C-alpha cells in the first residue's frame, strides 16, 4: 500500500509539467460542466423563488409529463434526430469533398480566398439568415417567386408548404457550416504524410486513385471523431436555426418542429423552469445513451479509433 | 518540423476545432435549459422596515442616501441622462434617493423578465402588468406584498388618490403586489384604422360593420396591388388578430388570454365555454376564408417579419387593428406625414359594451428582496403625485422633449421620442397631461365609450394556471398549430380543419382546463357575494 502511494507521488512529480498543462482544462471542465450538472435537480422540482434551486418542493416526474402528454413527443423527437442525421452526413461529406478539391486544385491564393469566402456565412447570425430567407421565400415579394413569375411559371407558396422545408433547412445548414468543416478537413489533409503521396506517384496512381487510396483512408480518424462528437448532440435541435427560419408558423410544424423549438413554445408563456430543465434532461440522457452505443459500435469495428 | 510532428499538429488542430464546436453548441443549449440560478430565500413580506432614527418629514428615516434600481420595459431613451438626472435632483431633495434604471428591450423582455427574479438580481422596483407576468411572478413570490400599512405609511398620496376599486383589481388571492397606474379610463377594446380616402375612391359604403370592412379590404386587394389590405398586429399569437374584435368584443365575451375559453360578460352564472365550438365561430371562419381567398391579408401572414405600424404610415398597409390610444397615435403621425390621406377609426361592433382596462394594465411593483422597500414606495408615490416629477417621468424635460400648455395639456417636440421609448405609462395618474395633437376622432371614441363602460363581477378575475400548466401549454401549442392557419384561411377544408382543431384541443386536455377555470370562477363569484 505504501509502495503504491509512493509510486503515485513519484508519478506526479515526474509528470508535473504535463499535469500543470492539463490543470486549466480540468478546472474549466469541472466548473462549467460538472458543477452545473447538480442543477438537474430542478427537473424534479416545482421551482419557486422562495426555495431556490435546492429548497423548492419535489415534484417527482411531474415536470416530464407535459412533454409526453402533448402527443407530439414522438414527432418532435423523430424530427430532431432525422434533421441531425442529415446535418451530420452533409456537414461532413460536403466539407470533406470541398477540402479535397481545394487541396488538389492547389494555388495558394485561390485556396485562401475560397476558404475565406466559404467561411463567411458561419459568422452570420441566424436572425439575419432568417430575414434573408424571408426575402427569398415570401409569396408575394420573394426573390424566388419573382424569378418564377418572370419566366412565366406559377408562384410557389413556400411558407405554407411543409414538404419544402426539410430540403431548405438542410441546404441552409450546409451553406452555413461548409466553411468551418472545410478548414477542419483541410487541416487534416495537410497533416497526411507527404511520403505516401510520393509513393503513390511512383506507383503511377492518377489523381482519383490517389484521393481514393491515400487521402480518404487517412481522413477516417477525423471523420470518426467528428461524427461521434456530433452524435452525442443528436437529440439537441439547433434552436437558433429552426426558430429564426420557421418562427411560429403553425402550418410548418409537422415537418420542422424539433424538441427545442417545441419546448420553447410550450413553456414561453408559463416560465416553468422545472419543465424546461426536464426537457433538457430528456435530451441529454438520450444523447448520452446514443453516444455510448455509437462508441461501442466503433470499438467493435476498430478499437484504435473509438473515443473511449 | 518533422513529418511526424506535423501530423500530430494537424490532429491536435482538428480536435481543438471540433471541441470548440462542441463547446459552442453546449453554450447555446444551456442558455435555454439552465435558467435557474442560486436563489437565496426570498422574503415575501417587508422584513426590513425602517430603523427608527432621525425621522424625516413623513415620519420616515431618510438620513441615509440610497440608490434605487428600477427595471423598465422598452428601449433605453436617448435622453436618459438628462431626464433621469433632473428626476434624481428632485428625488434626492425630497427623499434622499436616486434612481438608476435598466431597460429590457421589447424584443426579448419576455425571456429576461423572469430571469431577473430567478437569479434574484439586485433591483428594487420593476414594471409589471397583467400582460407582463404580474400574477405569475406574484404567485412565485417575486414581488413584495404591499399591505395597507405599508402603502398608507410610505405612499400616502397614492393611498389617498387611488380609488379603492383599483387596489381590489390588483389583488391576487387577496393581496396587493403593485401600485397600479391611476388613469381614469383606458380602453382595452380594439378598433380598426382604415384609409377612408381609398374607400371613397372605390365608392364603397362607410365602414361600420364586419361586412363593410370586408368589402373595403377586398376592394383594396383588387385595386391596390402594391398594398397589403390588412396588416397583422402580431404574428406571435395563438389566434387571429381580428378574433378580439369580431368574436370577443362583438358578442360581449370575456377572454382569458392564451386560452380557447370565454364567458359571456352578461351571464350571471358565468358559464365557461369553448369559443371555437360556437356557431359564432363557424360564421367567422367563413368570413375569414372569404377574405383570405380574396387577398385580404398576406399569404405570409404566419411568417411576417415587418412592422405593421411603419408599413401603415408609409402606405404599404391599408388597415390595422389596435386599441384607441395606439391607433390615435398612428393616425396623428400618418396624417402629419400625408395630409392628403383621409383616415378613419372604426368600431366594428358599435353596439357592444365597452370594457375599461382594469388597474393591473400598468403598474410598478417592489422586488421581494429589495433592501430599500420603503424608499422605493416613497419614490413611486412621488412619481404619481408630484407634479414636477410626474411631468419629467411622463414626458421628459419641458422645453426639450415636450412643450407644456397650461396645467393639463402638452405638445410633443421633435425630441419627444428621445425620452418616450419605454413603459413610462406605468405611473400615469390624475396629473397626466393630454396631447393637444391627440386626434379629435380618438377623443370622440373615448368619450362615446366612456358612457358604455360595462362593469361586471368577473372583470378582475385572474386564472391561476398552477394546477393545469401542462394542459395550458399543450392547448396553446395546438391553437398555434391548428387554429391560426385555419383562421388565416390557409387550410382548404374548413370543416375538417375545425374537426382537427377540436379533436387536438381535447387530446391536449382542454376539458380539464375548462373544469378548473369554471371551478375557480365559481369560487371567485361566491367570494364576491
Query: Which residue is closest to B35 within chain A, CA to CA?
Result: A273
Binned at pLDDT 50, 70 and 90, residue A249 comes out as: confident
Reply yes or no on whether the pLDDT at B26 is more than 80.
Answer: no
Q: Which pLDDT score is estimated for B299?
A: 87
Chain A contact set for B118 (CB, 8 A): 47, 49, 273
Binned at pLDDT 50, 70 and 90, residue A276 comes out as: confident
Partner-chain contact B302 A247, CB within 8 Å: yes
Query: Which residue is closest to A92 within chain B, CA to CA?
Result: B18
Range of A122-136, A289-303, B161-175, B345-359 with top mean pLDDT:
A122-136
CA distance B276 to A159: 25
Partner-chain contact A253 B481, CB within 8 Å: yes
Q: Which pLDDT score is estimated for B36?
A: 36
Partner-chain contact B484 A260, CB within 8 Å: no
Chain A contact set for B28 (CB, 8 A): 238-240
Among A70-79, B66-75, B273-282, the least confident range: A70-79
Binned at pLDDT 50, 70 and 90, residue B194 comes out as: very high
| A172 CA: distance to closest CA in chain B (Å) | 17
- Is residue B11 within a helix (H) or strand (E), and if so which, with residue range? helix B3-33
Q: Which pLDDT score is estimated for B27?
A: 38
For the four alpha carbons of A234, A237, A240 and A245, in that order, the dihedral sign comes to positive
Among A121-130, B45-54, B130-139, B410-419, the least confident range: B45-54
Give the pLDDT confidence of B465-498 residue by residue, as tens digits: 878 888 888 898 899 899 999 999 999 999 999 9
Q: Which pLDDT score is estimated for B90?
A: 93
Partner-chain contact A39 B482, CB within 8 Å: no
Between the CA of residue A243 and those of A249, B53, B54, what are the distances in Å? Answer: 10, 56, 57
Mean pLDDT of B341-353: 91
Binned at pLDDT 50, 70 and 90, residue B33 comes out as: very low
Q: Looking at per-residue confidence, does A269 or B11 come out higher?
A: A269
Q: Which residues contact B210 (CB under 8 A, 6 or more apart)?
A: B246, B250, B287, B348
Give the pLDDT confidence of B496-516 residue by residue, as tens digits: 999 999 999 999 999 999 999
CA distance B320 to B374: 44
Q: Looking at per-residue confidence, does B1 or B360 come out higher?
A: B360
Reply yes or no on whether the pLDDT at B55 is more than 70.
Answer: no
- Nearest CB to A222: which of B8, B14, B299? B14
Strands B409-412 and B402-405: antiparallel
Partner-chain contact B14 A184, CB within 8 Å: yes
| A262 CA: distance to closest CA in chain B (Å) | 8
Q: Which pLDDT score is estimated for B59?
A: 66
Q: Is-contact A160 A251, C-beta < 8 A?
A: yes
| B226 CA: distance to closest CA in chain A (Å) | 10
The HSE-up count of residue B452 (CA atoms within 13 Å, CB side) is 17
Q: Which pLDDT score is estimated for B5?
A: 53
Q: Which residues contact B525 (CB under 8 A, 6 or more apart)?
A: B270, B457, B458
| B179 CA: distance to closest CA in chain A (Å) | 22
Q: Looking at per-residue confidence, does A268 or B230 come out higher?
A: B230
Partner-chain contact B302 A280, CB within 8 Å: no
- Nearest CB to A70: which of B29, B474, B490? B474
Q: Which residues contact B119 (CB under 8 A, 6 or more apart)?
A: B37, B39
Q: Is-contact A70 B477, C-beta < 8 A?
A: yes
Chain B contact set for A165 (CB, 8 A): none
Q: Looking at per-residue confidence, does A71 or B388 come out higher?
A: B388
Q: Which pLDDT score is estimated for B13?
A: 54
Beta bridge partners of A107: none
φ/ψ of B526, rounded to 5, equals: -60, -40
Q: What is the 3-state secondary structure (H, E, C) of B460-509?
A: HCCCCCHHHHHHHHHHHHHHHHHHHHHHCCCCCCHHHHHHHHHHHHHHCC
φ/ψ of B77, rounded to 5, equals: -65, 145
- Nearest CB to A248: which of B120, B235, B473? B235
Reply yes or no on whether the pLDDT at A65 is more than 90.
Answer: no
A60 touches chain B (CB under 8 A): no
Q: Which pLDDT score is estimated for B48?
A: 39
Q: Which residues contact B179 (CB under 8 A, 6 or more apart)?
A: B146, B151, B155, B158, B162, B363, B364, B365, B377, B380, B384
Q: Which pLDDT score is estimated for A67?
A: 83
Give the pLDDT confidence of A43-61 residue by residue, as tens digits: 898 877 767 778 888 888 8
Reply yes or no on whether the pLDDT at B12 is more than 80.
Answer: no
A43 touches chain B (CB under 8 A): no
Q: Which pLDDT score is estimated for B434?
A: 84
- Nearest CB to B41: which of A52, A160, A233? A52
Give the pLDDT confidence of B80-116 residue by residue, as tens digits: 999 999 999 999 999 999 999 999 988 778 878 988 8
Q: Which pLDDT score is estimated for B24?
A: 45
Q: Which pLDDT score is estimated for B439?
A: 86
Q: Which pLDDT score is estimated for B529?
A: 61
Q: Which pLDDT score is estimated for B39?
A: 36
- Where would I find the H helices in B252-406? 279-293, 308-313, 324-337, 373-385, 387-395
Mutate to test the interface with B, among A49, A255, A258 (most CBs of B within 10 A): A49
Binned at pLDDT 50, 70 and 90, residue A303 comes out as: confident
CA distance B141 to B131: 18
Domain range B66-185+358-431, CATH architecture:
3-Layer(aba) Sandwich (3.40)
CA distance A183 to B14: 9
Query: Which residue is closest to B492 within chain A, CA to CA?
Result: A160
Mean pLDDT of B366-392: 93
A170 touches chain B (CB under 8 A): no
Reply yes or no on whether the pLDDT at A15 is more than 70.
Answer: yes
Reply yes or no on whether the pLDDT at B121 is more than 80.
Answer: yes
Mean pLDDT of B229-236: 82
- Name the grid cell of A180: 468551418
Mean pLDDT of B344-356: 88
CA distance B521 to B408: 41
For domain B188-353+443-529, say whether CATH 3.40.190.10 is its number.
yes
B473 touches chain A (CB under 8 A): yes
CA distance B209 to B203: 16
- Name the grid cell of B136: 405569475
Q: What is the DSSP string of A47-87?
A: --TTTHHHHSPB-TTHHHHHHHHTS-HHHHHHHHHHHHHHH
Mutate to test the interface with B, among A250, A259, A264, A284 (most CBs of B within 10 A): A250
Partner-chain contact A279 B42, CB within 8 Å: no
B300 touches chain A (CB under 8 A): yes
Mean pLDDT of B198-219: 94
Mutate to test the interface with B, among A269, A277, A291 (most CBs of B within 10 A): A269
Give the pLDDT confidence of A80-121 residue by residue, as tens digits: 999 999 999 999 999 999 999 998 887 888 888 998 999 999
Q: Which pLDDT score is estimated for B47?
A: 37
Mean pLDDT of chain B: 85
Partner-chain contact B14 A187, CB within 8 Å: yes
Mean pLDDT of B137-159: 91
Q: Is-contact A165 A173, C-beta < 8 A?
A: no
Reply yes or no on whether the pLDDT at B25 is more than 50.
Answer: no
Query: Which residue is closest to B41 within chain A, CA to CA?
Result: A50
pLDDT over 70, % of chain B: 88
Query: Which residue is closest to B116 within chain A, CA to CA?
Result: A49
Instruction: Note which residues in 203-242 of chain A have CB less than 8 A from chain B.
Output: 221-222, 225-226, 229, 232-233, 236, 238-240
- Nearest CB to A160: which of B14, B15, B490? B490
Domain boundaries, chain A: 73-305
pLDDT over 70, % of chain A: 97
Q: Which pLDDT score is estimated for A81?
A: 94
With 0-12 / 13-18 / 19 or more C-beta atoms within 10 angstroms meaning exposed / middle / buried, residue B111 is middle
Among B150-159, B190-199, B403-412, the least confident range: B403-412
Reply yes or no on whether the pLDDT at A270 is more than 90.
Answer: no
Q: Which pLDDT score is estimated for B303?
A: 82
Rounding to the nearest 10 degrees, give the CA dihedral for residues A39, A44, A46, A52: -20
Reply yes or no on whether the pLDDT at A182 is more than 80.
Answer: yes
Instruction: Note which residues in 51-110 of chain B have CB less than 8 A from chain A.
Output: 110
Q: Looking at per-residue confidence, does A98 or B30 come out higher?
A: A98
Chain A contact set for B29 (CB, 8 A): 236, 239, 260, 280, 283
Mean pLDDT of chain A: 88
Binned at pLDDT 50, 70 and 90, residue B331 comes out as: very high
Reply yes or no on whether the pLDDT at B373 is more than 80.
Answer: yes
Give the pLDDT confidence of B382-439 residue by residue, as tens digits: 999 999 999 999 999 999 999 999 888 898 888 888 998 899 888 988 888 888 888 8
pLDDT over 90, % of chain B: 51
Binned at pLDDT 50, 70 and 90, residue B29 comes out as: very low
Give the pLDDT confidence of A129-168 residue by residue, as tens digits: 999 999 999 888 889 999 999 999 888 989 889 999 999 9
Q: Which CATH number fits domain A73-305: 1.10.3720.10, 3.20.20.10, 2.60.40.10, 3.40.720.10?
A: 1.10.3720.10
* Intervals of CATH 3.40.190.10 along chain B: 66-185+358-431, 188-353+443-529
Reply yes or no on whether the pLDDT at B190 is more than 70.
Answer: yes
Amino acid at each position: 500500500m505504501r509502495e503504491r502511494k509512493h509510486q503515485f507521488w513519484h508519478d506526479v512529480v515526474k509528470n508535473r509539467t504535463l499535469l500543470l498543462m492539463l490543470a486549466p482544462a480540468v478546472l474549466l471542465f469541472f466548473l462549467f460542466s460538472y458543477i452545473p450538472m447538480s442543477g438537474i435537480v430542478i427537473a424534479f422540482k416545482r421551482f419557486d423563488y422562495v426555495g431556490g434551486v435546492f429548497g423548492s418542493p419535489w415534484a417527482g416526474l411531474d415536470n416530464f409529463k407535459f412533454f409526453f402528454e402533448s402527443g407530439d413527443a414522438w414527432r418532435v423527437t423523430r424530427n430532431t434526430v432525422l434533421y441531425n442525421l442529415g446535418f451530420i452526413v452533409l456537414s461532413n461529406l460536403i466539407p470533406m469533398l470541398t477540402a479535397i478539391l481545394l487541396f488538389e486544385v492547389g494555388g495558394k491564393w485561390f485556396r485562401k480566398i475560397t476558404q475565406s469566402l466559404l467561411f463567411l456565412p458561419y459568422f452570420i447570425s441566424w436572425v439575419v439568415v432568417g430575414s434573408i430567407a424571408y426575402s427569398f421565400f415570401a409569396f408575394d415579394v420573394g426573390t424566388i417567386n419573382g424569378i418564377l413569375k418572370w419566366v412565366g411559371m406559377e408562384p410557389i407558396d413556400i411558407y405554407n408548404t411543409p414538404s419544402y422545408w426539410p430540403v431548405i433547412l438542410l441546404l441552409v445548414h450546409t451553406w452555413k457550416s461548409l466553411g468551418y468543416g472545410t478548414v477542419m478537413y483541410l487541416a487534416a489533409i495537410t497533416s497526411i504524410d507527404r511520403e505516401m503521396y510520393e509513393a503513390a506517384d511512383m506507383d503511377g496512381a492518377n489523381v482519383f486513385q490517389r484521393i481514393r487510396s491515400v487521402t480518404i483512408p487517412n481522413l477516417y480518424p477525423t471523420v470518426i471523431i467528428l461524427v461521434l462528437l456530433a452524435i452525442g448532440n443528436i437529440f439537441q435541435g439547433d434552436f437558433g436555426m429552426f426558430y429564426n427560419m420557421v418562427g411560429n408558423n403553425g402550418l410548418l410544424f409537422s415537418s420542422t418542429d424539433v424538441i427545442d423549438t417545441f419546448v420553447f413554445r410550450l413553456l414561453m408563456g408559463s416560465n416553468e423552469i422545472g419543465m424546461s430543465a426536464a426537457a433538457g434532461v430528456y435530451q441529454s440522457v438520450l444523447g448520452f445513451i446514443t453516444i455510448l452505443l455509437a462508441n461501442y459500435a466503433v470499438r467493435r469495428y476498430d478499437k484504435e479509433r473509438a473515443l473511449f | 518540423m518533422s513529418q511526424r510532428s506535423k501530423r500530430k499538429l494537424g490532429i491536435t488542430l482538428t480536435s481543438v476545432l471540433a471541441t470548440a464546436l462542441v463547446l459552442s453548441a453546449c453554450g447555446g443549449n444551456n442558455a435555454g435549459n439552465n435558467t435557474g440560478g442560486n436563489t437565496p430565500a426570498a422574503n415575501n413580506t417587508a422584513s426590513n422596515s425602517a430603523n427608527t432614527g432621525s425621522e424625516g418629514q413623513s415620519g420616515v428615516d431618510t438620513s441615509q442616501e440610497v440608490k434605487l434600481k428600477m427595471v423598465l420595459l422598452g428601449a433605453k431613451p436617448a435622453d436618459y441622462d438628462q431626464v433621469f438626472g433632473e428626476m434624481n435632483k428632485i428625488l434626492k431633495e425630497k427623499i434622499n434617493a436616486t434612481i438608476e434604471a435598466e431597460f429590457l428591450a421589447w424584443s426579448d423582455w419576455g425571456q429576461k423578465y423572469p430571469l431577473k427574479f430567478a437569479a434574484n438580481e439586485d433591483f428594487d422596483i420593476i414594471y409589471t402588468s397583467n400582460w407582463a407576468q404580474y400574477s405569475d411572478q406574484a404567485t412565485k413570490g417575486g414581488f413584495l406584498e404591499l399591505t395597507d400599512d405599508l402603502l398608507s405609511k410610505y405612499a400616502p398620496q397614492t393611498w389617498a388618490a387611488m380609488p379603492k376599486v383599483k387596489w381590489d383589481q390588483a389583488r391576487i388571492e387577496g393581496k396587493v403586489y403593485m401600485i397600479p397606474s391611476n388613469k381614469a379610463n383606458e380602453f382595452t377594446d380594439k378598433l380598426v384604422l382604415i384609409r377612408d380616402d381609398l374607400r371613397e375612391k372605390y365608392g364603397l359604403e362607410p365602414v361600420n360593420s364586419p361586412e363593410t370592412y370586408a368589402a373595403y379590404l377586398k376592394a383594396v386587394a383588387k385595386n391596390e396591388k402594391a398594398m397589403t389590405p390588412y396588416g397583422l398586429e402580431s404574428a406571435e399569437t395563438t389566434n387571429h388578430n381580428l378574433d378580439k374584435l369580431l368574436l370577443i368584443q362583438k358578442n360581449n365575451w370575456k377572454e382569458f388570454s392564451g386560452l380557447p375559453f370565454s364567458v359571456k360578460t352578461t351571464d350571471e352564472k358565468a358559464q365557461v365555454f369553448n369559443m371555437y365550438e360556437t356557431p359564432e365561430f363557424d360564421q367567422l371562419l367563413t368570413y375569414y376564408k372569404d377574405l383570405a381567398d380574396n387577398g385580404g391579408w398576406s399569404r405570409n401572414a404566419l411568417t411576417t417579419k415587418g412592422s405593421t405600424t411603419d408599413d401603415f404610415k408609409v402606405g404599404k398597409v391599408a388597415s390595422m387593428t389596435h386599441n384607441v390610444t395606439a391607433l390615435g397615435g398612428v393616425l396623428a403621425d400618418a396624417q402629419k406625414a400625408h395630409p392628403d390621406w383621409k383616415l378613419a377609426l372604426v368600431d366594428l361592433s358599435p353596439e357592444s359594451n365597452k370594457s375599461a382596462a382594469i388597474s393591473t394594465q400598468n403598474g410598478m411593483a417592489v422586488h421581494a428582496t429589495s433592501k430599500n422597500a420603503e424608499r422605493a414606495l416613497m419614490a413611486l408615490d412621488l412619481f404619481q403625485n408630484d407634479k414636477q416629477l410626474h411631468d419629467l417621468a411622463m414626458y421628459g424635460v419641458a422645453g426639450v422633449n415636450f412643450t407644456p400648455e397650461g396645467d393639463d395639456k402638452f405638445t410633443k417636440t421633435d425630441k419627444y421620442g428621445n425620452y418616450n421609448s419605454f413603459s413610462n405609462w406605468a405611473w400615469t395618474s390624475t396629473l397626466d397631461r393630454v396631447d393637444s395633437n391627440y386626434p379629435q376622432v380618438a377623443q370622440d371614441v373615448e368619450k362615446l365609450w366612456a358612457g358604455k363602460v360595462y362593469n361586471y363581477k368577473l372583470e378582475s378575475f385572474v386564472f391561476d394556471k398552477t394546477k393545469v400548466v401542462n394542459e395550458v401549454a399543450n392547448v396553446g401549442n395546438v391553437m398555434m398549430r391548428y387554429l391560426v392557419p385555419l383562421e388565416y384561411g390557409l387550410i382548404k377544408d374548413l370543416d375538417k380543419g375545425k374537426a382537427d382543431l377540436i379533436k387536438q384541443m381535447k387530446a391536449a386536455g382542454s376539458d380539464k382546463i375548462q373544469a378548473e377555470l369554471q371551478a375557480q370562477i365559481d369560487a371567485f363569484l361566491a367570494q364576491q357575494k
